[in-house]
C-alpha cells in the first residue's frame, strides 16, 4: 500500500513537471540536458520511495559480486553470469518505472540543418490587428526505420514566455506540412498577412517549392514549384512590398548566389545572379529600405554581406574574418542588423555580430543564450514585437528570446 501511495504521488509530481516544461516556462538553467528534465529536487514521498530502490540496487551489487566470485570458484560458464547480471538489472529498472523515477522526457524533434523562424501580424475580419504565433519550421532528422520525415512545424505564442526565455520543441505539438519532404533546411517569411514557406524538393531536379498559409500555419495552400534548382537551403525576406527569394545554384552550375522577387508569391521576376559563390545557402533580411544578403564564401568559408536598395543590384560587399561552412542567419530590429552563424572550428558554438549599417560589425557576447553545449548548432533569426528571436538545431530544436 505504501508503495502504491508513493508511486501515485511521484507520478503526479512528474506530470506537473512535464506540464510546466511543455508550457514553456522553464528557463535555460533549469534544464539538466536535452534528454532529461529536472523534477523537484526533494519532497517527502520521494525520499521514502527511494529507499526501496536504493535497497534493491545494493542487493543487486552484492549479488553481482557473489556471482562473480562463484564463477571463478566453480568455473561456471560465462553465459550464466551474463544472465545473472541481466535479471537483477531488469527487475530494478522495472521497479523504478513503477515508482515513476528516472523517467526520461520525450526528446524534442531534431534536425541536421538550421531551422526557419518567422513572426508576423495580420488583420482579422473587423480590421483589428492580431499577433500570430512564432512559427518554426525545420527538416526532421531521418528515421532509419521509416526514412526521411516531412517538414514539421511548431508554434509558439510569444506573449506566453518570460523575457528572456529558452525552450526546446516537444514532439507532440508539431504538425507536418502536408506530408512534404526535403533533404535540406527550409525558409520562412511573413508577407502580406500570410506566411510563406520555401524548401528544396527531394526529387532528382531538387527544385524549389513555395506554399502559403493565411491562418498562422494551420493550413498550407497554393503550392508552387519553381523551375530553379538548388542543393542548399533557400532564403526568404519581405522587401518593399515584394517577397524576395535567394538560393545557391548547384555546384555544377558554379554555386553562385541568385535572387528574384514576387509581388504575390506566385509570379516571380527580376532574377539576378550575383558574382558570389557560396559553400551553403544564403540568408536574407530587410532593415529599413535596404535588403541584405549574407553567405559563406565557397573558397575561404569567410562570411560575406552585400546590400541592395532595389533588390536587383547588390553592392557594398563586406568580407568578415569569421568562418562557417553552413548557412548563416540574418535578423533585424528597429536599430540593428544581426548576423549569426555556427562557428566552423571548435564546438560549433553560435556567434552573433551586430551592425547599424551592414558595413561595420561588432561582436556580441553569447550570454543571452544558454550555456554550452546548448548554445551550439545551426541558427535562424526572426524579429518580433518584443525583440529578436533565435532558433537553432544542435540537433535538438531550440528557440530563445528576447536575446537583445
| Residue 233: CATH number of its domain | 2.120.10.10
**Same domain membership, residue 281 and residue 173:** yes
Residue 404 burial (C-beta neighbours within 10 Å; 0-12, 13-18, 19+): middle
More confident residue, 398 or 171: 398
Predicted pLDDT at 38: 36
* The pLDDT value given to residue 324: 93
- 231 and 340, same domain (yes or no): yes
Tell me, yes or no, whether 24 lies in a domain. Answer: yes
Of 88-92, 294-298, 389-393, minimum mean pLDDT range: 88-92
Are 89 and 131 part of one and the same domain? no
Task: Please tell me which residue, 163 or 167, carries the higher pLDDT value.
Answer: 167
Domain co-membership, 127 together with 74:
no
3-class DSSP assignment, residue 181: coil
3-state SS, 215-268, equals CCCCCCEEEEEEEEECCCCCEEEEECCEEEEEEECCHHHCCEEEEEEECCCCCE
| Count of Cβ atoms closer than 10 Å to residue 203 Cβ | 11
Q: Residue 1 in 3-state DSSP? A: coil
Domain boundary among 99, 126, 143: 99
The answer to which of 159-168, 238-247, 257-266 has the lowest mean pLDDT is 159-168
Residue 160 and residue 201 in one domain: yes
Q: Report the C-alpha gap between 297 and 56 in whole angstroms.
A: 59
Answer yes or no: do 131 and 93 share one domain. Answer: no
And the C-alpha cell for 132? 500570430
Indicate if 206 and 68 belong to the same structural domain: no
Tens-digit pLDDT profile for residues 274-329: 999 999 999 999 999 999 999 999 999 999 999 999 999 999 999 999 999 899 99
Q: Do 173 and 293 sit in the same domain of this protein?
A: yes
Per the structure, the count of domains in the chain is 2
Look-up of cell digits 547480471: 85
- Which residue stretches of 118-198 are H helix? none
CB 125 within 8 A of CB 172: no
Of 99, 133, 167, the last residue of a domain is 99
Structural domain boundaries, residue 83? 2-99
Looking up cell 544558454, which residue turns up? 370
Angle at 232 between CA 228 and CA 237, to 5 degrees: 75
297 and 388 belong to one structural domain: yes
Between 130-134, 168-172, 174-178, 264-268, the lowest mean confidence (pLDDT) is in 168-172
Q: Which of 256, 247, 251 is nearest to 209 (CA)?
A: 247
Domain co-membership, 68 together with 140: no
The pLDDT value recorded for residue 186 is 94
Percent of the chain exceeding pLDDT 70 equals 61
Q: Is pLDDT of 349 > 90?
A: no
Chain length of the chain: 404
Position 268 pLDDT exceeds 70: yes
pTM summary value:
0.71
Amino acid at each position: 500500500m505504501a508503495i502504491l501511495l508513493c508511486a501515485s504521488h511521484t507520478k503526479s509530481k512528474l506530470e506537473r513537471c512535464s506540464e510546466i516544461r511543455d508550457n514553456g516556462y522553464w528557463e535555460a538553467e533549469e534544464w539538466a540536458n536535452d534528454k532529461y528534465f529536472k523534477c523537484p529536487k526533494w519532497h517527502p514521498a520521494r525520499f521514502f520511495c527511494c529507499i526501496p530502490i536504493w535497497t534493491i540496487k545494493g542487493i543487486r551489487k552484492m549479488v553481482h559480486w557473489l556471482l562473480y566470485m562463484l564463477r571463478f570458484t566453480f568455473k561456471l560458464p560465462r553465459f550464466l553470469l551474463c544472465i545473472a547480471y541481466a535479471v537483477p538489472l531488469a527487475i530494478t529498472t522495472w521497479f523504478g518505472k513503477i515508482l515513476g523515477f528516472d523517467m526520461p522526457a520525450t526528446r524534442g524533434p531534431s534536425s541536421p540543418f538550421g531551422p526557419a523562424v518567422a513572426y508576423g501580424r495580420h488583420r482579422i475580419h473587423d480590421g483589428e490587428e492580431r499577433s500570430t504565433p512564432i512559427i518554426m519550421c525545420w527538416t526532421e532528422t531521418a528515421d532509419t526505420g521509416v526514412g526521411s520525415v516531412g517538414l514539421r512545424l511548431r508554434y509558439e505564442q510569444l506573449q506566453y514566455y518570460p523575457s528572456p526565455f529558452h525552450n526546446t520543441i516537444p514532439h507532440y505539438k508539431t504538425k507536418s506540412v502536408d506530408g512534404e519532404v526535403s533533404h535540406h533546411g527550409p525558409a520562412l517569411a511573413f508577407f502580406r498577412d500570410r506566411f510563406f514557406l520555401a524548401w528544396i524538393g527531394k526529387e532528382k531536379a531538387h527544385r524549389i517549392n513555395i506554399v502559403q498559409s493565411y491562418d498562422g500555419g494551420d493550413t498550407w495552400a497554393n503550392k508552387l514549384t519553381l523551375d530553379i534548382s538548388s542543393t542548399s537551403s533557400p532564403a526568404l525576406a519581405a522587401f518593399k512590398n515584394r517577397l524576395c527569394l535567394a538560393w545557391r545554384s548547384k555546384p555544377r552550375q558554379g554555386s553562385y548566389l541568385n535572387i528574384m522577387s514576387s509581388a504575390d508569391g506566385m509570379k516571380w521576376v527580376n532574377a539576378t545572379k550575383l558574382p558570389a559563390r557560396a559553400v551553403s545557402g544564403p540568408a536574407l533580411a530587410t532593415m529599413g529600405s535596404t535588403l541584405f544578403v549574407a553567405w559563406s564564401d565557397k573558397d575561404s568559408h569567410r562570411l560575406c554581406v552585400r546590400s541592395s536598395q532595389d533588390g536587383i543590384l547588390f553592392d557594398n560587399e563586406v568580407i568578415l574574418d569569421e568562418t562557417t561552412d553552413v548557412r548563416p542567419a540574418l535578423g533585424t530590429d528597429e536599430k540593428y542588423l544581426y548576423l549569426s552563424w555556427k562557428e566552423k572550428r571548435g564546438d560549433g558554438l553560435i556567434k552573433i555580430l551586430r551592425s547599424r549599417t551592414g558595413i561595420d560589425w561588432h561582436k556580441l557576447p553569447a550570454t543571452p543564450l544558454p550555456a554550452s553545449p546548448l548554445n551550439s548548432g545551426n541558427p535562424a533569426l526572426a524579429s518580433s514585437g518584443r525583440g529578436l528571436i533565435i532558433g537553432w538545431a544542435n540537433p535538438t530544436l531550440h528557440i530563445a528570446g528576447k536575446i537583445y
